[in-house]
Amino acid sequence: MEYFSEIMHTMRIQNSYGLLFDELVEFEAKSDVRDSKAIKRIATAYMKLLFPQWQKVEDVDKEAFDLYCLQPAVYRRGIIKEQCHLIDSEFKARMPEVRVK
């Protein structure tokens, strides 16, 4: 257990997955910074857990990234946005368009 927690801690402080995400994904121009940060955090967490071997853009299977990392992250952020919209109509329920480059 100690070994696994050390690996997870090391992966948490690695910024390489965030850099990969930035190179792979583009948001629509009007997207909210809060949404883009949340989607990035969720998607990079999936990348770390499911695809730790991805270290460079060339390593990434873009279909797998979209299916297993990006779309689930957008879906989960959408749930939060809907709940915020139900609490206060000031929050928009619409999610920004996010796609793999």
Domain ranges of the chain: 2-100
- Phi/psi at 57 (5° precision): -60, -35
- Whether the CB-CB separation of 60 and 39 falls below 8 Å is answered with no
The confidence band for 83, taking pLDDT boundaries of 50, 70 and 90, is: very high
What confidence tens digit (pLDDT) does each residue in 1-43 have?
Answer: 687 778 777 777 778 899 999 999 999 988 889 999 999 999 9
Q: Residue 2 is encoded by which pair of tokens?
A: 């100690």
Q: Residue 11 is encoded by which pair of tokens?
A: 């992966």
- Whether the CB-CB separation of 44 and 37 falls below 8 Å is answered with no
pLDDT of residue 63: 96
- Please tell me the distance from the alpha carbon of residue 58 to that of residue 77, in angstroms, as a whole number: 27
Q: Write out the H or E segment, with its range, that includes residue 68.
A: none
- Whether the CB-CB separation of 28 and 94 falls below 8 Å is answered with no
